[in-house]
Amino acid sequence: TKLNDWYSQCLPGSSAPPPSTTIPSTTPGSTPTTTGDTSPAPTGCPTLPSNPTLRSNSFLPDPFTFYDGTKVTTKAQWACRREEISQLLQKYELGTLPPKPSSVTGSLSGTTLTVNVSEGGKSISFTAGISYPSGTGPFPAIIAVGGISIPRPSNVAVITFNNDDMAAQVNSGSHGQGKFFQLYGTSHSAGAMTAWAWGISRIIDVLETIPSSTSRIDLSKLAVSGCSRNGKGALVAGALETRIALTIPQESGSGGGGCWRISDKMLQNGIQTQTASEIVGENAWFSPNFNQYVNQINNLPVDHHLLAALVAPRALLVIDNTGIDWLGPESVWGCMTTANKVWKALGVGDSMGVSQVGNHNHCAFPSNEQGDLSAFINKFLLGQSTNTNILKTDGANNLGFVESQWVNWQVPTLS
């Protein structure tokens, strides 16, 4: 099929597979219930009810208005709205991210990091391989979800995370399979991507116990990257794990950088693109709780511009491909340029970039995007001063994306 043709281009050597959580409620002025999301829990936030009323909204939901109608007017309030968006995304799409388990230990032996986790009388262990540049470091590092697919920068280590081992992604029946589910039970609500994000957090937990003179990793300079399905996973990890400084999803498409609402419209217009309704039948990336919403996406108070916005004000570079309809290029462009408004409002518009280029195979990084990638790596991992004001597509006429059809809110200047 057309899909399999391009699908087989990625993940070299891989056997290409065929294509009621409750939100912890908060009381006014209180700290939200702890989840695994690593941002410090903000206080004094508006209340999110445990069962929010769903209201139909064909526009991309306003990042700057809380569920209860309160407006975000200050940068400090973003921490509260970010927490609310995280809770909503976990409730409707991603499943619950468990907090740090009671026991996380591990060690580094040569280039193999071992992670041991125990919780509730159960234990798992997994390993991650680290590939170092020459020298003593400590080095910035890219956590590569399922392997690295962008060109590897010099002077940066690569930590390879075996995401399939943590939560399987063979098909829609994969939910419940993998080490995460050995620990938390096969009926845990987490989708595979949430389980991967949890696993990446445990790698960072263990690295935090090792002096940087020994680990040779600079934990203040961590990135995460992955391509395609693993690019979706990289975006979710960067969204939920605030110890990651730079998030680089590559060709993540629908379920990653694309917005469900825009992808639905593309399909209605006859473009063969992936939608929420398709994705839950294809794989186990999302929580089973998402299934009930995939044919009523307009009712959700979130979309993926808000998934990306969880990364703000940290750095995000979305690398994408205009040449593959299945990835939803219009959706990714519209969704991610809309997400950029959050960084702009926070006064750091150039900490979030989009680079969308066609005429190359899926997950084959084109040389004409190297400058954009290097600008982000050099600034956010290597501490250089570069121009990261990058919002660009080679698609004509914004690929058909008309902002006024999707954005019915104002971007505040946050004090």
Known catalytic residues are 228, 362
Q: How far is the CB of 229 from ligand MCU (least distance, A)?
A: 3
Question: Which single residue is written with the structure tokens 């939200």?
Answer: 32
CB 311 within 8 A of CB 43: no
Nearer to ligand MCU, 207 or 227 (CB): 227
311 alpha-carbon distance from chain centroid: 8
CB nearer to ligand MCU: pick between 90 and 228: 228
Count the neighbouring beta carbons within 10 Å of the beta carbon of residue 206: 20
Give the nearest distance from C-beta 145 to ligand MCU in angstroms.
Answer: 11
Q: In angstroms, give the least distance from the CB of 200 to ligand MCU.
A: 18
Residue 116 CA neighbour count, 13 Å, CB half: 7
CB nearer to ligand MCU: pick between 19 and 133: 19
Nearest to ligand MCU of 49, 281 (CB atom): 281
Which helix (DSSP H) or strand (DSSP E) does residue 202 occupy?
helix 192-208
Rounded to whole angstroms, the Cα distance separating 386 from 51 reads 45
Reference 275, options 288, 287, 261, 286; nearest CA is 261
Q: Which residues of 396-411 are buried (b: 16+ CB within 10 A; e: fewer)?
A: eeebbbeeeebbeeee
Q: What share of the chain is helix, strand, coil (3-state, %, to 5)?
A: 35, 15, 50
DSSP 166-177: HS--SSGGGTT-
Nearer to ligand MCU, 170 or 346 (CB): 170
Q: For the CB of residue 189, give the shortest distance to ligand MCU in the complex, in Å.
A: 21
Beta strands 246-250 and 315-320: pairing type?
parallel
Burial status of residue 103 (CB atoms within 10 A of its CB: 0-12, 13-18, 19 or more): exposed
Residues that bind ligand MCU (CB under 6 A): 7, 10-11, 19, 228-229, 253, 255, 274, 282, 327
Residue (188 or 229) nearer to ligand MCU, CB? 229
Q: Going by C-beta distance under 8 Å and a sequence separation of 6 or more, which residues neighbour residue 367?
A: none
